Chain A
Amino acid sequence: GQNIDQPTEMTATEGAIVQINCTYQTSGFNGLFWYQQHAGEAPTFLSYNVLDGLEEKGRFSSFLSRSKGYSYLLLKELQMKDSASYLCAVRDMTGGSYIPTFGRGTSLIVHP
């Protein structure tokens, strides 16, 4: 099984930078994902990390350290529309199956 921890809620100001952390424990790591989910909508894919390091995609970046069981999602130049829940998910190999396990999500509130 897995244990994924991320903060429940964060607040930030429009135009600022925010970092959402995710820590995990797994025995058969096979990739880490970040998803964004607006209230009442389906999750949308943001990033995928399987090797250590930083992946940058526009205003969003995701970092992974496998040895530390740690990832973060960095959001720059925050906009009001970035107010959403951010889900960290780890895929691992368990009993022959590749299972993605999701954290409970971090609710980000961006205020003017």
Chain B
Amino acid sequence: EPEVTQTPSHQVTQMGQEVILRCVPISNHLYFYWYRQILGQKVEFLVSFYNNEISEKSEIFDDQFSVERPDGSNFTLKIRSTKLEDSAMYFCARGTSVYGYTFGSGTRLTVV
């Protein structure tokens, strides 16, 4: 299977700006996830997306966050108004807990 690719690999943004993180390819899969990892800390679950709908979200995933599948092959995470504490590595993943996940290489988001 093709690897999961995330773009951009690194993004620097001003506090308060909107960012969109992208994940491809996702065609022929139903389950997708976003996780984040603040530097030096554990990997935290943000949201799971099944059959074009959010199936579960964590407390971290507040109104500033949204996910979309704008077409058949992209999966995006949008942060509407970034805060300093949003600085982290963001990983998308596809798969299921039954068979395991394939993670993308991550996007390092730096909010300044």
Please indicate whether A and B come from the same complex rather than being unrelated chains: no
Binding site for A on B (CB under 8 A): none
Binding site for B on A (CB under 8 A): none
